[in-house]
């Protein structure tokens, strides 16, 4: 069964080789004439003010956490969809309960305003 994945490995090697090869090639072929003005981070021609590695609004972390929660639930839906034919009505009721719990969480998140962007 694992041999089915072998061509993917070949493709990974090809893709990685291409990407790294192209990066190296342009590194070798391109001119190298750095000067202080050129290597300054672009900020519309101004001298950069402060560091670029600033703190990120907490909202983005919230979205990331919500994504993890919902994505795991979605992954659970795939095996269920595969064996749905064998489960019949039992599978349907079971999954309605599962999704109802998910929807309760979803409504809570919505009502709490976690999905609002100012």
Partner 1 sequence: MPFDVTELVIAIVKALVVFVALLSIVPVLIWMERKVIADIQIRIGPNRAGPFGLLQPLADAIKLIFKENIITQGADKVVYFFAPAVSMVPAIITFAVVPFGDTAHILGRKVLLQVADVNIGILYILALSSLGVYGIVLAGWSSNNKYSLLGGVRSSAQMISYELPLGLALVGPVLLSGSLSLREMINAQGRAGVWFIVPQFLAFAVYLISGFAETNRAPFDLPEAEQELTAGYHTEYSSFRFALFYMAEYVNMVTVGAVATTIFLGGWRGPFGNIVILQPVWFLVKLFAILYFFIWVRGTLPRLRYDKLMKLGWKVLLPLALLNLMVTATVKALAPQSAIPIMSVLSLVLVAIGVIALTIISARSTRTPASGLREPSAEGAFYTWES
Beta carbons of 95 and 80 less than 8 angstroms apart: yes
CA distance 16 to 3: 21
Asked whether position 72 contacts partner 1 by CB under 8 A, the answer is no
Per CB under 8 A, does 15 bind partner 1? yes
> Applying CB under 8 A, does 97 fall inside the site for partner 1?
no
55 scored as a contact of partner 1 (CB under 8 A): no
Q: Which of 45, 47, 74, 108 binds partner 1 (CB under 8 A)?
A: 74
| 3-class DSSP state of 80 | helix
CA 25 to each of CA 9, 20, 21: distance values in angstroms, whole numbers, following the listed order: 24, 8, 6
27/21 Cα distance (integer angstroms): 10
Which residue ranges make up the site for partner 1 (CB under 8 A)? 2-8, 10-12, 14-16, 18-20, 22-23, 25-27, 29-34, 36, 38-44, 48, 51-54, 56, 60, 63-64, 67, 70-71, 74-75, 77-78, 81-82, 84-85, 88-89, 91-92, 95-96, 99, 103, 106, 110, 115-118
């Amino acid at each position: 069964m694992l041999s089915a994945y072998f061509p993917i490995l070949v493709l990974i090697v090809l893709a990685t080789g291409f990407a790294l090869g192209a990066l190296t090639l342009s590194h070798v072929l391109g001119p190298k004439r750095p000067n202080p003005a050129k290597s300054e981070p672009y900020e519309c021609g101004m001298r950069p003010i402060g560091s670029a590695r600033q703190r990120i609004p907490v909202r983005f972390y919230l979205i990331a956490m919500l994504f993890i929660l919902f994505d795991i639930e979605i992954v659970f839906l795939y095996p269920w969809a595969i064996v749905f034919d064998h489960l019949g009505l039992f599978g349907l009721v079971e999954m309605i309960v599962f999704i109802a719990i998910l929807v309760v969480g979803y409504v809570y998140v919505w009502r709490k305003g976690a999905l609002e962007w100012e």
